[in-house]
């Protein structure tokens, strides 16, 4: 976790105190059910909850000190709670194993993290939608291979981003479901010393599903799927970030990250306004992707479990979620305040001398009875002249003057093919698909 790329709400989920609070709740809920089942006195849970009702401070250093001796974190925590609550606390954790607590806690943390990430996505989607509607009909050149192709609108670019992040949202909902399970199944998952009813009770209280079969641990294919999903979301962040970086290039300059008055772009070159936020997001996307790899390697734990996944998750649990939360929020800010330059978009659209309309002419020629191969040749020989003039010549003028073309298409017919609006007749259809009616 890099502090400058971390926001407080997400960070809080991963702090020791937050973790211990979840531990306590799991233990207390379990003790409650154990009491109901007559395995432990009903007074045990009451003692735990009574203490909890006093809103006790979790003394992290004290627990750490115990762990330094026992070298076992859950035992350290239980010992500390017992010191606070007294004799009744000895009934806690009856028949359970550490992983029952640890894995269910991770599930709660990742579910909470997912909720924040879903909120982040909602804000991002809202920002993209607002800007998409604002620029629904702002003409701009569409580019394939970085080369001018045909006109699109800036709103369409954003509609694409919206659809992509809406898919990411769906994926995250699935991923959240993957990891939101509770396992209280004992040392090797047989419920030998703890009834499945305890698991069901704790799961219900924490808003989790029951893990159908665990083996001391919740199976790590779930977590692999979760972090792989975050990696995909990172890819989408990178895509939009790269789009903006391209648009801000000096020669393109169709959009710019917001540039605040006090900001300095360069220690040496005062005129520079650099797309540093989206470049930064590009790097963060690389990190979030990288975190999926060890999660995938964690799946093949040995037999009923080994603990190799644990050190990995101490890194990627916080790092992937905190960084993604930050990245989504940063991207939302970038989209929200993006400086968009429609005049420049139009200027770029015009700079190729009308080449972007070549395909329409090609089609018109075909429909006028010219063979596809001939039509291609006719358009290309004129297009090449325009291309080589760097947009100084006009494709429309050249075509009008080309006898073979003129034989097939009248001047009016040709002019009609250079109408920008023609390209936007289905923008509304696409918007309806993406944003609903």
Which candidate in 145, 260, 303, 437 is catalytic? 145
Helix (H) or strand (E) holding 89: none
Please, which residue, 359 or 410, has the CB nearer to its own copies? 359
CB of 132 to its own copies, least distance (A): 10
Please, which residue, 11 or 195, has the CB nearer to its own copies? 195
Q: Which residue in the set 222, 328, 335, 399 belongs to the binding site for its own copies (CB under 8 A)?
A: 222
Judged by DSSP in three states, 139 sits in: strand
In angstroms, the CA 252 to CA 26 distance is 56
Q: Strand 147-153 relative to strand 139-144: parallel, antiparallel, unpaired?
A: antiparallel
Has 266 been annotated as catalytic?
yes
Please, which residue, 53 or 271, has the CB nearer to its own copies? 271
CB of 131 to its own copies, least distance (A): 15
Under rule CB under 8 A, residue 360 binds its own copies: yes
Under rule CB under 8 A, residue 202 binds its own copies: no
Which candidate in 266, 311, 389, 410 is catalytic? 266
Q: 20-30 burial by CB neighbour count: b if 16+ within 10 A, else e?
A: bebbbbbbbbb
Terminal Cα-to-Cα distance of the chain (whole angstroms)? 42
Q: Do 11 and 322 meet the contact criterion of CB atoms below 8 Å apart?
A: yes
Under rule CB under 8 A, residue 389 binds its own copies: no
CB of 309 to its own copies, least distance (A): 6
Size of the site for its own copies (CB under 8 A): 173
Token pair for residue 431? 């918007």
Q: Which residue in the set 19, 29, 33, 93 belongs to the binding site for its own copies (CB under 8 A)?
A: 93
Under rule CB under 8 A, residue 224 binds its own copies: yes
Please, which residue, 23 or 53, has the CB nearer to its own copies? 23
Q: Which residue in the set 9, 65, 192, 401 belongs to the binding site for its own copies (CB under 8 A)?
A: 192
Q: Do 210 and 236 meet the contact criterion of CB atoms below 8 Å apart?
A: no
Q: Do 62 and 76 meet the contact criterion of CB atoms below 8 Å apart?
A: no
CA 420 to chain centre: 35
Site pattern 328..357 for its own copies (x: CB under 8 A): ----------------x---x--xx--xx-
Q: Which residue in the set 27, 111, 186, 408 belongs to the binding site for its own copies (CB under 8 A)?
A: 186
Site for its own copies in 115-174 (CB under 8 A): 141-152, 156-157, 159-160, 163-164, 167-168, 171, 174
Q: How far is residue 230 from each of residues 4, 46, 103, 143, 170, measured CA to CA in Å?
A: 20, 40, 19, 28, 12
Under rule CB under 8 A, residue 291 binds its own copies: yes
Under rule CB under 8 A, residue 8 binds its own copies: no
Token pair for residue 17? 């105190």
CB of 21 to its own copies, least distance (A): 19
Please, which residue, 29 or 148, has the CB nearer to its own copies? 148
Token pair for residue 391? 């947009």
Q: Which residue in the set 8, 38, 61, 212 belongs to the binding site for its own copies (CB under 8 A)?
A: 212
Please, which residue, 55 or 300, has the CB nearer to its own copies? 300
178, 183, 177, 179: which is closest to 203 by C-alpha? 183
Helix (H) or strand (E) holding 382: helix 372-388
Under rule CB under 8 A, residue 104 binds its own copies: no
CA 229 to chain centre: 8
Q: Do 422 and 357 meet the contact criterion of CB atoms below 8 Å apart?
A: no
Site for its own copies in 36-75 (CB under 8 A): 69-72, 74-75
Q: Do 110 and 226 meet the contact criterion of CB atoms below 8 Å apart?
A: yes
The alpha helices in 73-217, defined as continuous H runs, are 73-85, 98-134, 154-179, 196-206
CB of 361 to its own copies, least distance (A): 9
Site for its own copies in 241-260 (CB under 8 A): 241-243, 245-246, 248-253, 260
Q: Which residue in the set 289, 345, 405, 408 belongs to the binding site for its own copies (CB under 8 A)?
A: 289
In angstroms, the CA 13 to CA 80 distance is 21
* Active site positions, annotated: 145, 266
């Amino acid at each position: 976790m890099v502090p400058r790329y971390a926001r407080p709400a997400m960070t809080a989920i991963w702090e020791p105190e937050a973790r211990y609070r979840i531990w306590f709740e799991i233990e207390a809920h379990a003790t409650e059910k154990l009491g109901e089942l007559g395995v432990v006195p009903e007074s045990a849970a009451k003692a735990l909850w009574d203490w909890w009702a006093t809103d006790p401070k979790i003394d992290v250093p004290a627990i750490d000190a115990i762990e330094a001796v026992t070298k076992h974190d859950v035992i350290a925590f239980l010992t500390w709670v017992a010191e606070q609550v007294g004799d009744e606390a000895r009934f806690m954790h009856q028949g359970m194993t550490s992983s029952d607590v640890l894995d269910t806690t991770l599930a709660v943390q990742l579910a909470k993290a997912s909720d924040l990430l879903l909120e982040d996505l909602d804000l991002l989607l809202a920002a993209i939608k607002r800007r998409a509607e604002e620029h629904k009909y702002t003409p701009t050149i569409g580019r394939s291979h970085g080369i001018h192709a045909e006109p699109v609108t800036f709103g369409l670019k954003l509609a694409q981003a919206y659809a992509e992040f809406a898919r990411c949202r769906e994926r995250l909902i699935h991923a959240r479901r993957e990891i939101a399970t509770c396992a209280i199944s004992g040392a090797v998952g047989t419920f030998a010393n703890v009834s499945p009813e305890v698991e069901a009770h704790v799961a219900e209280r924490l808003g989790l599903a029951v893990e159908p079969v665990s083996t001391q641990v919740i199976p790590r294919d779930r977590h692999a799927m979760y972090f792989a999903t975050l990696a995909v979301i990172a890819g989408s962040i990178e895509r939009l970030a790269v789009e903006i970086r391209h648009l801000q290039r000096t020669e393109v300059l169709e959009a710019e990250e917001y540039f605040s008055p006090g900001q300095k772009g360069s220690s040496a070159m005062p005129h520079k306004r650099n797309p540093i936020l989206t470049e930064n997001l590009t790097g963060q996307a690389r990190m979030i992707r990288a975190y999926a790899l060890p999660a995938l390697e964690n799946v093949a734990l040995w037999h009923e479990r080994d603990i190799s996944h644990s050190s990995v998750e101490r890194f990627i649990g916080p790092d992937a979620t905190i960084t993604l939360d930050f990245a989504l929020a940063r991207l939302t800010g970038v989209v929200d305040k993006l400086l968009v330059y429609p005049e420049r978009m139009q200027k770029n659209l015009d700079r190729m001398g009308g080449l972007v309309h070549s395909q329409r002419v090609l089609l018109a020629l075909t429909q006028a009875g010219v063979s596809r191969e001939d039509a291609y040749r006719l358009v290309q020989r004129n297009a090449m002249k325009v291309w080589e003039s760097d947009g100084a010549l006009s494709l429309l003028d050249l075509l009008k003057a080309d006898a073979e073309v003129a034989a097939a298409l009248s001047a009016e017919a040709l002019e009609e093919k250079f109408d920008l609006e023609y390209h936007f007749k289905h923008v509304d259809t696409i918007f309806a698909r993406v944003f609903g009616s």
